[in-house]
Structure 1
Amino acid sequence: MGILHYSGEEFEFDDRILTHLQVVISTKLRRKEDFFLSWPVPADRGSGRHAVWIDNGVPIHFFYSGSRHVSINREWLESMIAGAGRASGLLLTDEPSPPS
């Protein structure tokens, strides 16, 4: 599990998800496009949902527990970038299965 450090908070994500988030966040911030990022909290952690405002004025740090780079799922990445452009922001979802 990796950790997203944002605005003094720590949020745990699988390294694969965190890698895709890093690409989405860097893409959006390079374009000067702020957005909401939200994700559900699993039942074993109390349920609920997080929502954070991502913008260039807040320091961000990605920590990966593994040392290997993960491959990028272009379809998922494009879907995430499009989602971040909506008024409701990017809602993290599971990675789609590869087409059969």
Structure 2
Amino acid sequence: MGKLIYDSEDHPIVLDDRALAHLKVVITTKLRRQEGFTLSWRHPDGQPPGRSTIWLHPSIPMQFIFDEPEPPELNARWIQDLMNSANTSGGIALVDEVIDGPE
């Protein structure tokens, strides 16, 4: 499980390394453009049930920490799905990865 440290190390956001790798691409793309937006996710197993939302802005410090030393192969469709949601008024909704099967 990876961690997204946002503004402070007091409350890291714990996410699967694979999901965090895909979010990193979308988040850094948006912040490089100086665009603020929200990120929402469901709390993982082992935490109280619910969901959280944070406001992401280029001026707030952020760190991505991965457990795995090698980055995963990225799924372009998942990145596009996340980017599409980032461009809405609701912000990024961390949706499950969709893997295209053989046609």
Query: TM-score, normalised on structure 2?
Result: 0.91
Aligned to 1:5: 5
Alpha-carbon distance, 1:45 to partner: 1.5
Alpha-carbon distance, 1:43 to partner: 5.4
Q: Deviations over 1:38-73 (max 9, x none)?
A: 001145421111100011010000000110110110
Could you tell me which runs of 5 or more consecutive residues in structure 2 were left unpaired when the two chains were aligned.
none
- Coordinate RMSD, CA, aligned: 1.1
- 1:60 is aligned to 2:62: yes
User: d(CA) in 1 for partners of 2:29 and 2:92?
Assistant: 13
Aligned to 1:76: 78
After the TM superposition, list the runs of 4 or more consecutive aligned residues in structure 1 that deviate by more than 4 angstroms. Answer: none
- 1:92 is aligned to 2:63: no
Query: TM-score, normalised on structure 1?
Result: 0.94
Aligned to 1:37: 39
User: Secondary structure of the equivalent of 2:55?
Assistant: strand
User: Secondary structure of the equivalent of 1:69?
Assistant: coil
User: d(CA) in 1 for partners of 2:21 and 2:71?
Assistant: 8
Aligned to 1:47: 49
Equivalent pairs, count: 100
The residue type paired with residue 66 of structure 1 is E
Identity %: 36
